[in-house]
Chains A and B, each alone.
Chain A
Amino acid sequence: MARTATSPGAPKTALGKAALEVDDRLIVAGPLRRTLNKVFPDHWSFLLGEIALYSFIILLLTGTYLTFFFQAAMTEVTYEGSYAPLRGVEMSIAYASTLDLSFDVRGGLLIRQMHHWAALLFVASIVVHMLRIFFTGAFRRPRETNWLIGVALLVLALVEGMTGYTMPDDLLSGTGLRIISAIILSIPVIGTWAHWAVFGGDYVGELIVGRFYIVHVLLIPAILLGLIALHLLILVKQKHTQFPGPGRTEHNVVGNRLFPAFAGKATGLLLVVFGVVAALGGLVQINPVWLWGPYNPAQVSAASQPDWYVMFLDGSTRLFPAWDIYLPGNYNIPALFWPTLVLPGILFTLLLAYPMLERKLTGDTASHHLLQRPRDVPVRTSLGLMAITFYLVLLLSGGNDVIADKFDISLNAMTWVGRIGLIILPPIAYVITYRICLGLQQHDREVLEHGIETGVIRRLPHGEFIEVHQPLGPVDAHGHGQLAYGGAPVPKKMNQVGGARRAIRGFFSPIEEPTAVELEQRGEERGLASAETQRELTSSGRPAEGGRPAEGGRPAEGGRPSEGGRPQEPRD
């Protein structure tokens, strides 16, 4: 419905008129306002997933650029490019075009290295993001679907990375491809058939690089893109989780609106991620394929390791004992099958099923929007640490030859350390984590009950020494705090409850009057500055007498909330 220029509220500026024209046609004002008003909780750990998203954007941009130059074919050519040490060497066109885009395309090496760094960052940020989700219980109902999508994204990211670093057909990636071929062959019953289907024949054939290419640039990115969109859509629909804190409930989200605060910070993070990847891509060399040389099935270099995200499988392959299983009829299951296919299969299935397993075992089927602190769920936290320990042993074993070499340890000893460590370290990690969780829980309860240790030692008239405690809230007749634990961090230092003066702003020189800050503090009725003016050192400062010596005796019946007892802003 068009409006006349005189109707009230009609836009007068050119921009406003243009906006009206757009909204007359698309009717976007409502949805746009809802989007701009969406509230995002403010916590650094919620940015981890964003880092993954931003590295994916870098991957799409740089990857598209690389396809302008990369030729995914195994055709043999003689290299004639500008990298002199390899001139005249026979190599596949895949490797030759990788060299060309590194040495003969202006800025090509920067983009190639950015692509590789962004891939490492992509997987790393997915993993760290997933750990955050796991340890805070953010995967609980109603967010199981997004957990499943997240695990699928992780697996796809691994496959995407693996196909990516295989394509240049250098000596290192060729060695990796040879191992992939052996892994496919090791599948019981259908191994050789699967190999012939993937490679189009015996290893290595002409087809595999072209097939990996289309999988790497179209198939998996398309699925990744779709799943990421779904992941975000569900996130928007379900709204964010948040840590417990003042005013935060299961039925609200406290934080900043998308526009402008969150948009500003998120865009800032995007740019910083871009900047870090660009700097890494330029300054820190990665996968210098020209040093490895073209692939040759008869050659290999020491310390051939895959990218970090596949290294745990390399480790499991190194550690697994030489156990071929021979079956009647002269069939056998190769040892390689277990550490490379069965183990990741079990690991990812457990990861995928964890929310359902936990729901079954704890019987907790309620919807949760408030996060848990890891210490409050000791079993889950300990299981998580157990899994991390298992993973780290595998990861380190993936480079055990390098460790053996650098630290002058026997290689075989490293293998045995890995084999034994893989079995005994995770349970140890479980027990230790469990104890730490309980200890932290107890400390929280103790501070709530007895108050913060002030570090002030007081000598009583009859010679007894006691430490003065600052109660966090009202205390009962015995001086015990009455605040219940609310799942939020408990302040444990006087500075966290306003014990410290606010710092005077300014880096090299103060930009505000120190005296004005002092006055402001005194007026605030909190913190040491104001306490000093009111303090009358009369009582003992025992918890039983109200904790702090400032109040001039026992608190009134029921306990007047002391200044320290006001709810604290959660610290990020």
Chain B
Amino acid sequence: MTTHDTRPGTTGGADTPGPLHGGPDDDHTPEQLAALSREDLDRLGARYDGVEILHVEPGPEPGSAMEKRAVRQVGLLFALAGLSAFAFCVVYAGAGWFLPDWQWELGSSTFSALYTPLLGALMGLAFTFFGVGLVLYTKKLLPHETAVQDKHDGSHFDRVTTGATLVGGLHNSGLKRRKLITRSLLFMGGGLGLMLIAPLGGLIKNPSRGNPLGTTDWAEGVRLVRDDGTPVRPGDQEPGSLETVFPAVPGGNHLTDAATMLIRLRPSQQDQAVPRQGQEDFGYGDYVAYSKICTHAGCPVSLYEQETSRILCPCHQSQFDVTQGAKPIFGPATRSLPQLPITVDDEGFFVARSDYIEAVGPTYWNRERI
């Protein structure tokens, strides 16, 4: 005890640590430990942790050519790492100050195009030089030791004693006999569990209210307009061409399910055309309009190959034949693209005759029922 040890309350008896605090300290007095060399202490501690050092291959001899060489290598790598890191800082902070500006500009200097690559390369070099240097240091300059550590299976003593403590506690609680407590605990657990997940109910919404999946913004008399809002007239398009049109409502060109392809068939295509049953009059002259939203996974089907009359979805390669009512003819899609019934209004612009008569986009469980 030191002279500053002025603890009150120790008058009732000697305040000395019990025998349980001993451990290895009992076997090795400070005097014995002080007599050991650092290496012996290291090995003693290792042995205490179940580690035996079998074999040590010492590092290179101090002052030998090998050591000098390795030290040079490692030192060079560390220096290069530092150099790269400083260079990174110079480029990072110097851009726009004493170096050209880093920000992207149309037709700007090459420096702004090099800025990010330069930063990445310098940071990469700094880290890599440091890492490689460290590995070389470990491999070339440190002694190589082979150590063996024992692996212990679980101890029977631990299992039995822990089990006794646990079972004893459980036994003392009397839960086995006091059925009312177990049952009420179970009941409470169920209630509390439900209560804790109940707030997730805020996420639940009824998807069937107002049939949002089955309807779009198309309606009778709504004009077909291009992305820039201009209406379309028969004769605007070349035969065989495709144009994406949207309903003439505010924000129509950003609606997720209203995008429609207006296709003008070539005469030869029109001769082969086999419209879907009951939808023979949905087109107008040589024009047909199909939903652009794939019936498979909802991607916009965009690639129109007019020689084969096929529309290809680039996401999963479903192919639809526009002469057969946009029927799927290859790939994972199962349903035809819905057709928009169109006509021409008094001013000669294309308008929809009604909304799509079926849900556009991907299939779902109760699609047929809505």
Contact = CB atoms under 8 A, between A and B. Distances in A.
Chain A bound to chain B: yes
Interface string A56-90: 00000000000000000000000000111100001
Which among A183, A185, A190, A276 has the highest number of chain B CB atoms within 10 Å? A185
A39 B150 CA distance: 9
Nearest to B144: A261
B151 A282 contact: no
Interface in B85-140: 92, 95, 102-106, 116-135, 137-139
Contacts of A333: 365
Contact of A298 (B66, B146, B292): B292
Interface residues of B, number: 107
Given A279-B128, A336-B297, A252 B151 contact: yes
Contacts of A304: 299, 314-315
B177 interface: no
A314 B117 contact: no
B150 A251 contact: yes
B124 A282 contact: yes
Contacts of B133: 268
Contacts of B103: 82, 103-104
Nearest to B209: A196
A359 interface: no
Range of interface residues on A (Cβ < 8 Å): 35 or more
- Interface secondary structure of B, over-half rule: mixed
Contact of A275 (B30, B131, B319): B131
Which among A175, A267, A268, A319 has the highest number of chain B CB atoms within 10 Å? A268
Contacts of B333: 322
Given A9-B33, A320-B332, A512-B65, A298 B317 contact: no
B297 A322 contact: no
A349 interface: no
Contacts of B125: 275, 279
Contacts of A210: none
Nearest to A112: B116
Contacts, number: 322
A418 B204 CA distance: 39
Interface stretch (A198-206, A442-450, A520-528, A535-543): A198-206
Nearest to B149: A39
A253 B148 contact: yes
B72 to A, nearest CB: 11
A190 to B, nearest CB: 8
B130 A271 contact: yes
Given A9-B33, A270-B131, A282-B123, A334 B362 contact: yes
Interface string B238-257: 00000010100000011111
B300 interface: yes
30 contacts: A9-B30, A37-B45, A37-B49, A38-B51, A39-B147, A178-B299, A192-B366, A193-B204, A196-B205, A200-B203, A200-B205, A202-B212, A254-B54, A256-B147, A264-B138, A271-B128, A282-B116, A282-B120, A298-B227, A298-B246, A301-B314, A303-B314, A304-B315, A322-B332, A322-B334, A324-B363, A330-B366, A334-B334, A336-B332, A412-B319
Given A114-B120, A192-B364, A272-B135, 17 more contacts: A9-B34, A38-B149, A110-B123, A255-B147, A257-B53, A261-B142, A268-B134, A268-B135, A276-B128, A279-B120, A300-B299, A300-B315, A314-B316, A330-B366, A334-B334, A334-B363, A412-B319
5 smallest beta-carbon distances between A and B, as pairs: A282-B120, A279-B124, A271-B131, A275-B127, A275-B128
Interface of B: 1-2, 5, 17, 30-31, 33-34, 45-46, 48-49, 51, 53-54, 65-66, 69, 92, 95, 102-106, 116-135, 137-139, 142, 144-151, 153, 203-208, 212-213, 227, 244, 246, 253-257, 259, 292-293, 296-300, 302-303, 312, 314-319, 328, 330-335, 361-369
Interface of A: 1-2, 4, 7-9, 33-34, 37-39, 82-85, 90, 103-104, 106-107, 109-110, 113-114, 175, 178-179, 181-183, 185-193, 195-198, 200-204, 239, 247, 250-257, 260-261, 264-265, 267-283, 296-304, 314, 317-324, 326, 329-336, 339, 367, 369, 400-401, 411-412, 415, 505-506, 511-512
